[in-house]
Amino acid sequence: MSTVVLLLFTGVGLGAIYFLVASGLSLIYGLMHVLNFAHGVFLSLGAFLGFEVASRLGATTWTGFAASLLVGALAGAVFAALTERLLVQRLYERHIEQVLVTVGLGLAAVALFDGIWGTDPRFISGPAWMGRTTSVLGANVPNDRFVAILVAALVLLGMVLFLQRTRYGMIIRAGVENRAMVTALGIDVRTAFTLVFTIGGVAAGLGGVLASHYFGYVSPLLGQTLLIFAFIVTVIGGLGSLTGAAIASVLVALLQQFANYYLAGTGDLAVVVLLAVVLLTRPSGLMGRRA
């Protein structure tokens, strides 16, 4: 029982991190039809800059941790907005080139991070409470899981409110459905593109800081490794669907945790099998619209 509870919380915690990456990917693809292979970079940059700020302000203080989240979010936002404005938008409607450019940016950024922070992982410490555990139904659940879940839930809530309640949110929802018609109503949809990248960057930057606590380290490859699973999550959830990304994040992470524990470390394989099953039975994903 306690093992199941621990796996549940660990799985949902990992799902929270997947969601923080996948939500941006899904919105970006839904609106712009861009597969952003540089998305993991937003995460790694957020994690590294968060780590730098936290170590200066005191990694074990709550101030340091809060500042690292803030800086991580900001770094992700700025870098994502610049990526969109300087690279992606220039290749408007040229999807192959957009993929090549984001792949290239991903590789270049990892090399840059190698140069600045080295290829070895930097170990992360946080406030003492984060490293301790809380007993839930007999299971000792590491507290950083709760923080990851809480932050991801708040991000999901914020995104939903933004999409449902604001004019830009409405433009984004309409644009995911039919971008040409949005422009034909006199709306400059490029502003929405930059906005969607920025929001994705915020989520990924937060995800970076939380992932570095979850795994206990940050390395230049952290983001791009998580990106692979985030893409799988996005496809399973349905490209363009935020709800789909949230459900699939938790589903994939739980499957991974349980298969790793009960089926001799076959978590990644189980995820790939799930992906294949979903693609064969529901090609547009759990919540995706029919193509």
Does 178 contact other proteins by CB under 8 A? yes
CA distances from 188 to 27, 29, 178, 222, 226 (A): 18, 18, 14, 35, 33
User: What is the total count of residues that contact other proteins (CB under 8 A)?
Assistant: 17
Q: Give the tokens for residue 64.
A: 């340091």
Does 184 contact other proteins by CB under 8 A? yes
Of the pair 135, 191, the CB lying nearest other proteins is at: 191
- Binding-site member from 189, 221, 275, 286 for other proteins (CB under 8 A): 189
- Binding-site member from 119, 134, 140, 183 for other proteins (CB under 8 A): 183
Does 187 contact other proteins by CB under 8 A? yes
Q: Which residues contact 264 (CB under 8 A, 6 or more apart)?
A: none
Among 36, 21, 37, residue whose Cα is nearest residue 245: 21
Of the pair 182, 239, the CB lying nearest other proteins is at: 182
- The dihedrals phi and psi of 182, each to the nearest 5 degrees, come to -65, -45
Of the pair 80, 171, the CB lying nearest other proteins is at: 171
Which range binds other proteins by CB under 8 A, 135-143, 176-184, 195-203, 262-270?
A: 176-184
Does 96 contact other proteins by CB under 8 A? no
Among 172, 177, 211, residue whose Cα is nearest residue 24: 172
Judge whether 14 and 253 are in contact, CB under 8 Å.
yes
CA distance 24 to 28: 6
Does 185 contact other proteins by CB under 8 A? yes
- Binding-site member from 170, 221, 275, 286 for other proteins (CB under 8 A): 170
Considering the complex, what minimum distance in angstroms separates the CB of residue 181 from other proteins? 5
Q: Which residues contact 48 (CB under 8 A, 6 or more apart)?
A: 113, 116, 117, 122, 208, 218
- Per CB under 8 A, residues contacting other proteins are 167, 170-171, 173-174, 177-178, 180-189
